[in-house]
Amino acid sequence: MAPQTTCFARSRAPGCSARLGGRRLAVSVHANLLPVPAAETRSTVDRIKKMRLITAVKTPYLPNGKFDIPAYDALVARQIENGVEGLIVGGTTGEGHLMSWDEHIMLIAHTVHCFGSKIAVIGNTGSNSTREALHATEQGFAVGMHASLQINPYYGKTSKTGLLNHLSAVVCEGPAIIYNVPGRTGQDIPDDVGLELSKHPNFLGMKECTGNKRIHNYTSQGVNCWSGNDDESHDARHSNGAVGVISVTSNVVPGLMHKLMHGSPDPALNASLKDLMSWLFCEPNPISLNTALAMCGLVKPVFRLPYVPLSREQREKGAVLLRAVQEHIPGCKEVKVLEDSDFVLIGRH
């Protein structure tokens, strides 16, 4: 028997009254906190479900640890120019977990305002707290994001019924991708939970990081999937039914990842990128990507702790790999190894 699910809707604020010149005025103030009706998001759902390349975009920083908006805008513009169809804003790669919610929603709003007519903006508004996920997702849709990325409760693991209720609640808010990465959350999203969620009209698909066998099982039952693993994404797309990939590597070589997802199967191109992909995950993401973009001169070498740059030895290995694809790295004029002293580590920001 499947676990019971609940779609939570918040009530509207009650009306209030005020006095003016001794007269009581009836002033009705309502806060619309109801979920976005599925009928209003149908075209968005249909469009995003077909996107082959979505980048989990990096968030660049200034030396004081605040957002480097000009560098961010340049990164996003290059993604659009090279065929990326959607962005995850403030995801794992974008370090949403190191942002305040004010920062997070501001960055989503900025991305929508500047680029929302050219690319799908998918805000990572998930949380291990259902209350926080609902509130952040409401705010994200209020500032115009097209969809949300939702994760299962990390650290504070719950029961299977609790897991399904948490994800069902946030999917009711509007179009959503469900992110399964048990290596980070410590809890898998079972297939029957994914299948149950897929019945909701706001369900966009699973970002699945547990491998292509799992993806094939989903897609064979009609469940939309994106690979969450760059090194498996070619085979996920061309052999296992995935619609595409939500990618880290496309921050660096968006055009090549576009070709890998949109073109015919290309085992040679896929093989040629494997060493770069492996290096980009030689330490937990986004450590290597942050280091790589700094080495390419695309972001300032600033890290919000607890992230720190790759070692000098790893930077030297990476420089060789990056120079081999430098012509495909938009905006990169030179790849530098950089010195340890070039990096700024920020604890308070």
List residues with catalytic annotation: 179, 207
Cβ neighbors of 117 (< 8 A, separation 6 or more) are none
Six token digits for residue 42:
């149908």
> Could you tell me the two tokens for 260?
């890998």
Separation of alpha carbons 173 and 236, rounded Å: 29
Instruction: Please return the burial class of 172, using the count of CB atoms within 10 Å of its CB with bins 0-12, 13-18 and 19+.
Output: buried
CA-to-CA distance for 4 and 274, rounded, in angstroms? Answer: 43
Tokens 């002293």 -> residue: 341
Tell me whether residue 289 is exposed, middle or buried, using C-beta atoms within 10 angstroms of its C-beta: 0 to 12, 13 to 18, 19 or more.
buried
Determine the length of the chain.
349
Q: Which residues, in sequence order, are CB contacts of 262 under 8 Å at separation 6+? A: 52, 53, 83
CA distance 150 to 134: 10
Q: Are 170 and 204 in contact (CB under 8 A)?
A: no
CB count in 10 Å sphere of residue 246: 29
Backbone angles phi, psi at 124, to 5 degrees: -80, 95
- Amino acid identity of 14? P
CA distance 93 to 284: 10
Pick the closest to residue 234 from 215, 218, 206 (CA basis). Answer: 215
Q: Is the dihedral of CA 155, 157, 162, 164 positive or negative?
A: positive
Distances in Å between the Cα of 141 and the Cα atoms of 108, 136, 201, 261 are: 9, 9, 16, 28
CA distance linking residue 325 with residue 169, whole number of Å: 43
